[in-house]
């Protein structure tokens, strides 16, 4: 049985649907990312799970117990979930220890038990030495870890994270990602992580729900999303690559290199089916399809090339050295993935 | 309209209780007034028609418009001079200049009037002491329309100053810098960029000064009544004082007239504002330091002189006036006496009683309004912006209306014992207390609301996930974070209410005098020395409270304390 079930969630603000018929079944202990461009409804979905927003229709249930449906709305204080906010939401008038212990106080846990659990939570995020500090005296990363400890202290079954890394600089992000991974491994909690950053979602999540305009675009593991995206929009949103329009292929099929190359040579057909070619599937060599270098950009570890095929279609590739613009090259395609056309 | 927003299982009664409070404090008095004015059929006998036919009504209306209009011009002159000089240039001692310039606004009008009266005229203790007094029998120049206008102008100049300063501070620095890069000198920048763009601030300030001038009671009462020069508020006061309840519905019609004039003023202001408002982009909030160079000391000296004339001289006259044995006696080492202060504290039972009454009224109103504001702001934050705006406007009505109008409305509402509980409020301190609650709710609510609005909503949401219900969250999370604003709101209410005259002038009764009424009555009965002594004490109290609020300033959102930015 799935731990957290979202069943046809709909949320309308003044009759415009922000979340539209969203259904997900999340396994216990799974790390799930809600990924999408801004305004896709991912944060609203998270707030529906927490209970800050009321459902327009649909149902949320946890371990078979309904949290919210058309005639029921369990308030957030009774859902016993943990949440890490984008702004951390540390109470500025309470010390680090008081912030962490507040949830325990609400559950009437006092005395030694209280001190033990606060100490333990702070130790887990390596902040035991800062217990008496006020939040204003902490750095961004430390604040984030206090917010995590606050979640940790009551061992909730579900932890919600709302773009927790958005306010941190790039170097801190990498180390905080590791902290989240560690946190997930230790607690075994079900985690729902909202982000607009695909690399963050890909590196952290077991499964990713890609959202577009309030609807679920695809619900899959990171590998599947990268290798076998369902449609053109997901393919463009996740990772890099180029999309060729090729005749006579059915969507949702891996196309072997030979077939791909012979199709790509034709150019007097109806260009109807989009086919995704990731840059690592393009090899430059002495044989294969002729193409011309249109642009060449240095990215440190490699060069990125934009190539133009004879048929006029453009192709994105990696190369180990710089090539002058206009140079004629030959290339081999190893594999492609055919997509549903954009709706 | 959704009035019952989800607040969880607790506090379900709260919205209804709060709506009841707003309805009875903010709406009921003005509604009662409208009902009274229109209750009789509109024919030749009705009071509304009688009032509209009376020549005295139109004379007083013209006097009101003249004094408020001329006063507004004077306010605009002083207010804009100080706002431009202090906000735009590199003059020194800006904080002290602002504090001194704002002081006249916080000093109650009857004290301002009294101190100016002590400054001029043949009996002036200060002029007598300096040997400059005009001969006996020469007129007191302030007992005139222009005297009233001058004092209204000085009293309300800080309102223009504040509105213009806010507008100047929100002027993006880039606008000025772009003009400078394009070759405009400082003077041209001021004329071509700053003045047009901050016109809305000037208009707003002028309109507030005008409406405040229309509603002012203390100054035209102290300066106009001795010269039989009546404006609408003093006409109402005079009618009520002379004829009592028999003229209530006539007075209600007069109140409606002045309330209508005030509302027209507000409407014109908003119309003008809409036309002259620009969308300003860019970084704002920093002053634009214009370098004055060698002319700086001239401006500093000019501002200092003005402050000395409009603030120090009258206050000095007031102090001198409280230290002489009798009016007209020059102050020398031999005549100096503290007997007025002794009498105030010792023998005069009414003085102590008035202090006692005002402190209780102001303190009680501040406490009740602090609690009400917290609950109200907490609740209103959850409403839709439109509903919130609507409620805010309703709460503002009793403060926007001239105080005399509110007083008449309260008399109408409480002249008979309250139904059901059979409690008579009229003729007790209770009616003044209720009127203060109605009038000053918005004063306390504004800082609390703005502080609550700046609070990150996720702070409360985090507590909610931790398992805290609405009441817990209010006490544990919200209250500690907005406490400075709540105290500031309470102090502001206390500061204004403790010196209030306009409302209590009509609502007081024997044994229930307030400080404002006391000074007014002492002055009217010719006891100017004792009145001055009480007024000196009031000024000291005002300055002390303002300094107390200054201490809170660093922990408050911008704009909470009227004289600081």
* A17: phi then psi, degrees, rounded to nearest 5: -75, 130
Cβ pairs bridging A and B (under 8 Å): 63
Give the pLDDT mean for A298-306: 92
Give the pLDDT mean for A237-265: 87
Domain with CATH 1.10.3720.10 in chain B: 72-337, 340-565
pLDDT category of residue B88 using cuts at 50, 70 and 90: confident
Contacts of B388 (CB under 8 A, 6+ apart): B380, B381
Q: Is the pLDDT assigned to residue B5 strictly greater than 50?
A: no
* A32: phi then psi, degrees, rounded to nearest 5: -115, 135
The encoded tokens of residue B277 equal 């408002």
Can you give the pLDDT at residue B275?
63
Q: Is the pLDDT assigned to residue B374 strictly greater than 90?
A: yes
- Note whether A77 contacts B465, CB cutoff 8 Å: yes
- Measured CA to CA in angstroms, residue A267 lies from A215, A250, A254, A264 at distances of 35, 18, 21, 7
Place of tokens 């109402």: B236
CA A240 to chain centre: 16
* A209: phi then psi, degrees, rounded to nearest 5: -100, 110
> Among B467, B475, B480, which would you mutate to test the A interface (most chain A Cβ atoms within 10 Å of its Cβ)?
B467
- Spatial separation of the C-alpha atoms in residues B197 and B246, rounded to whole Å: 52
- Note whether A85 contacts B461, CB cutoff 8 Å: yes
> Could you tell me which chain A residue has the CA closest to the CA of B8?
A75
- Spatial separation of the C-alpha atoms in residues B41 and B49, rounded to whole Å: 10
Give the pLDDT mean for B218-245: 89
Share of chain B above pLDDT 70, in %: 92
pLDDT category of residue B330 using cuts at 50, 70 and 90: confident
Q: Which of A259-263, B94-98, B263-267, B383-387 has the lowest mean pLDDT?
A: B263-267
Residues 142-161 of A with CB under 8 A from B: 150
- Spatial separation of the C-alpha atoms in residues A47 and A9, rounded to whole Å: 12
Q: Is the pLDDT assigned to residue B17 strictly greater than 60?
A: yes
- Note whether A73 contacts B463, CB cutoff 8 Å: no
**Residue with the larger pLDDT of the pair A337 and B272:** A337
pLDDT category of residue B563 using cuts at 50, 70 and 90: low
pLDDT category of residue A43 using cuts at 50, 70 and 90: very high
Q: Is the pLDDT assigned to residue B236 strictly greater than 60?
A: yes
Can you give the pLDDT at residue A220?
96
Topology of domain B340-565, CATH: MetI-like fold (1.10.3720)
Average pLDDT, chain B: 84
* A59: phi then psi, degrees, rounded to nearest 5: -150, 140
The encoded tokens of residue A57 equal 């229709």
Place of tokens 């230790």: A186
Give the pLDDT mean for B109-135: 83
The encoded tokens of residue B482 equal 């907005």
Can you give the pLDDT at residue B279?
54
pLDDT category of residue A32 using cuts at 50, 70 and 90: very high
Q: Which SS3 state, helix, strand or coil, does residue B501 take?
A: coil
Can you give the pLDDT at residue A183?
87
- Spatial separation of the C-alpha atoms in residues B251 and B57, rounded to whole Å: 11
CB proximity B472 to A under 8 Å: yes
Q: Please answer whether residues B406 and B31 qualify as being in contact, where contact means their C-beta atoms are separated by less than 8 angstroms.
A: no
The encoded tokens of residue A274 equal 């989009």
Per DSSP bridges, beta strands A31-35 and A207-212 are parallel
State the smallest CA–CA distance between residue A197 and chain B in angstroms.
Answer: 22
**Residue with the larger pLDDT of the pair B166 and B31:** B31
**CB half-sphere exposure, B564, CA atoms < 13 A:** 16
Superfamily (CATH H level) for B72-337:
MetI-like (1.10.3720.10)
Q: Is the pLDDT assigned to residue B351 strictly greater than 50?
A: yes
Can you give the pLDDT at residue A221?
96
Residue spans of beta strands (DSSP E) within A221-265? 242-246, 254-256
CB proximity A50 to B under 8 Å: yes
**Residue with the larger pLDDT of the pair A328 and B121:** A328
- Measured CA to CA in angstroms, residue B55 lies from A47, B65, B178 at distances of 66, 15, 57
Residue A68 is given by DSSP the state E
Give the pLDDT mean for B289-318: 87
Can you give the pLDDT at residue B191?
83
Residue A279 is given by DSSP the state G
- Note whether A103 contacts B8, CB cutoff 8 Å: no
Q: Is the pLDDT assigned to residue A216 strictly greater than 90?
A: yes
- Spatial separation of the C-alpha atoms in residues A89 and B259, rounded to whole Å: 46
- Judging contacts by C-beta atoms under 8 Å, the chain B residues touching residue A90 are 459, 462
Can you give the pLDDT at residue A19?
94
Q: Please answer whether residues A255 and A337 qualify as being in contact, where contact means their C-beta atoms are separated by less than 8 angstroms.
A: yes
pLDDT digits (tens, 9 = 90+) for B376-414: 999 888 888 888 888 888 888 888 888 888 998 998 888
**CB half-sphere exposure, A166, CA atoms < 13 A:** 15
Q: Which residue, A340, A133, A98, is CA-closest to A235?
A: A340
The encoded tokens of residue B308 equal 């000395």
pTM given for the model: 0.80
Place of tokens 């710089």: A322
> Could you tell me which chain B residue has the CA closest to the CA of A108?
B467
pLDDT digits (tens, 9 = 90+) for A85-121: 988 889 988 999 999 999 999 889 999 999 999 999 9
CB proximity A87 to B under 8 Å: yes
Q: Is the pLDDT assigned to residue B502 strictly greater than 90?
A: no
What is the value of ipTM here, to two decimals? 0.78
- Judging contacts by C-beta atoms under 8 Å, the chain A residues touching residue B472 are 106
Which residues face B89 on adjacent strands?
B290
Give the pLDDT mean for B428-453: 90
Q: Is the pLDDT assigned to residue A257 strictly greater than 70?
A: yes
pLDDT digits (tens, 9 = 90+) for A130-174: 999 999 889 888 998 999 899 888 888 899 999 988 878 888 888
* A251: phi then psi, degrees, rounded to nearest 5: -65, 155
pLDDT category of residue B3 using cuts at 50, 70 and 90: very low
Give the pLDDT mean for B17-28: 87
Give the pLDDT mean for A273-290: 91
CB proximity A130 to B under 8 Å: no
Contacts of A230 (CB under 8 A, 6+ apart): A217, A218, A252, A339, A340
Handedness of CA A97, A99, A102, A103 (dihedral sign): negative
- Note whether B458 contacts A87, CB cutoff 8 Å: yes
- Note whether B465 contacts A106, CB cutoff 8 Å: no
Q: Which of A16-20, A186-190, A322-326, B339-343 has the lowest mean pLDDT?
A: B339-343
If you write DSSP's letter for every residue of A213-280 in order, what string do you get?
TTEEEEEE-HHHHHHS-SBHHHHHHSS--EEEEESS--SS-EEEHHHHHHHHH--SS---EEEEE-GG
- Note whether B8 contacts A75, CB cutoff 8 Å: yes
Q: At what angle do helices B403-414 and B28-38 cross, to 10 degrees?
A: 80
- Judging contacts by C-beta atoms under 8 Å, the chain A residues touching residue B467 are 77-78, 80, 103, 106-107
**Residue with the larger pLDDT of the pair B40 and A2:** B40
> Could you tell me which chain B residue has the CA closest to the CA of A98?
B476
- Spatial separation of the C-alpha atoms in residues B368 and B167, rounded to whole Å: 33
State the smallest CA–CA distance between residue A145 and chain B in angstroms.
Answer: 15
CB proximity A106 to B under 8 Å: yes
Q: Which residue, B417, B322, B355, B320, is CA-closest to B126?
A: B320
Place of tokens 């005296």: A137
Can you give the pLDDT at residue A217?
94
Q: Is the pLDDT assigned to residue B1 strictly greater than 90?
A: no
pLDDT category of residue B302 using cuts at 50, 70 and 90: very high
Burial B39-76 (b: 16+ CB within 10 A, else e): eeeeeeebbbeebeeeeebeebbebbbebbebbbebbb
Q: At what angle do helices B145-169 and B109-119 cross, to 10 degrees?
A: 120
């Amino acid at each position: 049985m799935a731990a957290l079930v979202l069943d046809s969630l709909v949320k309308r603000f003044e009759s415009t649907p922000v979340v539209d018929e969203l259904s997900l079944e999340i396994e216990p202990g799974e790390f799930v990312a809600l990924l999408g461009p801004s305004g896709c409804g991912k944060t609203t979905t998270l707030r529906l799970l927490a209970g800050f927003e009321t459902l327009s229709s649909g149902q949320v249930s946890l371990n078979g117990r309904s949290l919210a449906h058309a005639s029921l709305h369990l308030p957030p204080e009774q859902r016993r979930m943990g949440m890490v906010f984008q702004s951390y939401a540390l109470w500025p008038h309470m010390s680090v220890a008081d912030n962490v212990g507040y949830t325990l106080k609400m559950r009437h846990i006092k005395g030694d038990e209280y001190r033990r659990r606060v100490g333990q939570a702070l130790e887990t995020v390596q902040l035991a030495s800062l217990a008496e500090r006020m939040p204003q005296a902490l750095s961004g990363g430390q604040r984030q870890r206090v917010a995590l400890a606050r979640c940790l202290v009551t061992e909730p079954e579900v932890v919600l994270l709302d773009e927790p890394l958005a306010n941190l600089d790039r170097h801190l992000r990498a180390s905080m990602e590791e902290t989240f991974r560690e946190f997930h491994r230790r607690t075994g909690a079900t985690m729902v992580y909202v982000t607009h950053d695909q690399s963050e979602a890909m590196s952290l999540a077991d499964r990713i729900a890609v959202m577009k305009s309030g609807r679920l675009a695809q619900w899959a593991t990171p590998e599947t999303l990268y290798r076998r995206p369902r449609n053109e929009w997901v393919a463009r949103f996740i990772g890099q690559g180029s999309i060729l329009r090729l005749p006579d292929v059915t969507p949702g099929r891996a196309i072997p290199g030979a077939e791909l190359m012979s199709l790509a040579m034709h150019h007097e057909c109806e260009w109807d089916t989009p086919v995704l070619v990731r840059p690592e599937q393009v090899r430059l060599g002495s044989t294969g399809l002729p193409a011309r270098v249109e642009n060449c950009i240095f990215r440190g570890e490699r060069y990125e090339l934009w190539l133009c095929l004879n048929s006029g279609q453009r192709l994105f590739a990696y190369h180990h050295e710089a090539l002058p613009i206009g140079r004629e090259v030959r290339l081999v395609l190893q594999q492609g993935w055919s997509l549903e056309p954009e709706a | 309209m959704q009035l019952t927003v989800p607040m969880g299982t607790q506090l379900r009664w709260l919205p209804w209780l709060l709506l009841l409070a707003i309805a009875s404090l903010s709406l009921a008095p003005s509604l009662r007034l409208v009902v009274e004015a229109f209750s009789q059929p509109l024919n030749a006998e009705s009071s509304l028609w009688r009032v509209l036919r009376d020549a005295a009504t139109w004379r007083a209306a013209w006097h009101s418009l003249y004094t408020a209009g001329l006063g507004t011009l004077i306010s605009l002159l002083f207010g804009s001079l100080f706002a431009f000089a202090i906000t735009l240039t590199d003059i020194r001692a800006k904080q002290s200049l602002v504090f001194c310039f704002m002081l006249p606004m916080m000093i109650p009008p009857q004290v301002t009037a009294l101190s100016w009266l002590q400054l001029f005229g043949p009996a002036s203790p200060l002029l007598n002491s300096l040997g400059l007094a005009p001969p006996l029998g020469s007129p007191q120049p302030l007992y005139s329309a222009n005297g009233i206008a001058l004092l209204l102008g000085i009293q309300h100049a800080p309102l223009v100053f504040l509105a213009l300063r806010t507008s100047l501070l929100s002027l993006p620095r880039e606008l000025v810098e772009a003009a400078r890069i394009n070759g405009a000198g400082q003077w041209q920048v001021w004329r071509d960029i700053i003045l047009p763009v901050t016109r809305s601030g000037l208009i707003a300030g002028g309109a507030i000064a005008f409406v405040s001038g229309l509603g002012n009671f203390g100054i035209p009462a102290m300066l106009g009544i001795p010269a039989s020069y009546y404006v609408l508020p003093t006409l109402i006061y005079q009618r009520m004082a002379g004829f009592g309840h028999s003229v209530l519905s006539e007075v209600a019609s007069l109140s409606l007239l002045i309330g209508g004039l005030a509302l027209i003023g507000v409407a014109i202001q908003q119309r003008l504002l809409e036309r002259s408002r620009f969308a300003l982009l860019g970084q704002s909030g920093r002053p634009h330091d214009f370098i004055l160079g060698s002319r700086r000391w001239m401006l500093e000296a000019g501002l200092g002189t003005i402050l000395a004339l409009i603030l120090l001289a009258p206050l000095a006259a007031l102090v001198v006036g409280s230290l002489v044995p009798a009016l007209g006696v020059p102050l020398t080492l031999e005549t100096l006496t503290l007997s007025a202060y002794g009498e105030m504290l010792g023998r005069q039972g009414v003085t102590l009683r008035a202090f006692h009454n005002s402190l209780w009224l102001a303190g009680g109103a501040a406490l009740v309004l602090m609690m009400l504001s917290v609950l109200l702001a907490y609740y209103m934050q959850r409403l839709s912006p439109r509903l919130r705006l609507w409620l805010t406007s309703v709460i503002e009505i009793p403060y926007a209306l001239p105080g005399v109008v509110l007083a008449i409305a309260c008399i109408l509402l409480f002249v008979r014992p309250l139904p059901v509980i059979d409690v008579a409020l009229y003729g007790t301190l209770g009616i003044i207390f209720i009127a203060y609650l109605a009038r000053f709710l918005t004063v306390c609510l504004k800082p609390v609301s703005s502080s609550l609005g700046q609070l990150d909503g996720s702070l409360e949401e985090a507590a909610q996930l931790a398992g805290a219900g609405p009441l817990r969250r209010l006490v544990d999370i919200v209250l500690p974070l907005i406490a400075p604003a709540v105290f500031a709101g309470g102090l502001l209410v206390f500061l204004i209410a403790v010196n209030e005259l306009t409302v209590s002038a009509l609502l007081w009764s024997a044994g229930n005098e307030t400080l404002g009424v006391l000074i007014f009555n002492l002055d009217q009965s010719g006891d100017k020395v004792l009145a001055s002594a009480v007024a000196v004490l009031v000024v000291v109290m005002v300055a002390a409270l303002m300094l107390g609020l200054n201490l809170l300033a660093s922990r408050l959102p911008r704009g909470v304390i009227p004289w600081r930015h």
